[in-house]
Amino acid sequence: MKLIVALLVFGIIVIFHEFGHFIVAKKNGIVVEEFAVGMGPKLFGVRRGETEYTLRLLPLGGACMMLGEDTAEEVIPGSFNSKSVWARMAVVAAGPVFNFIMAFVCAVIIIGMNGYISGEILQVEDGSPAMEAGLEAGDIITKADRTSVHTFSDFRMHIALNQGRKCTITYIRDGEKYQTTVTPEMTDDGVYRIGIVGGVQEKPKFGGLLISSFYEVKSNIDLVIKSLEMMIQGQVSRSDVAGPVGMFQVIGDSYESAAKYGLRSVILTIADMILLLSANLGVMNLLPIPALDGGRLVFLIVEALRGKPVPRDKEGVVHMIGFVILMGIMVLVMFNDFARIFGF
Residues catalogued as catalytic: 18
Q: Which of 229, 216, 212, 221 is nearest to 281 (CA)?
A: 221
Contact yes or no for 25/274 (Cβ under 8 A): no
d(CA 240, CA 97): 27
The candidate with the shortest Cα–Cα distance to 90, out of 4, 164, 182, 25, is 25
Residues 6+ apart with CB under 8 A from 308: none
Residues 6+ apart with CB under 8 A from 34: 45, 51, 52, 53, 54, 63, 64, 65
Contacts of 24 by beta carbon, 8 Å cutoff, 6+ apart: 90, 91, 94
Which spans in the chain are helix H?
2-27, 85-114, 129-132, 152-161, 206-232, 244-259, 263-286, 293-306, 312-342
Query: What CA–CA distance (Å, rounded) separates 87 from 25?
Result: 8
Going by the DSSP 8-state scheme, the letter that residue 81 receives in this structure is: G
Identity of the amino acid at 120: E
Sign of the torsion angle spanned by Cα atoms 87, 88, 90, 95: positive
Question: Which residue, 92, 67, 40, 35, is CA-closest to 327?
Answer: 40
What type of residue sits at position 213? Answer: S
Rounded alpha-carbon distances, angstroms, from residue 267 to 9, 116, 144, 259: 12, 16, 31, 9
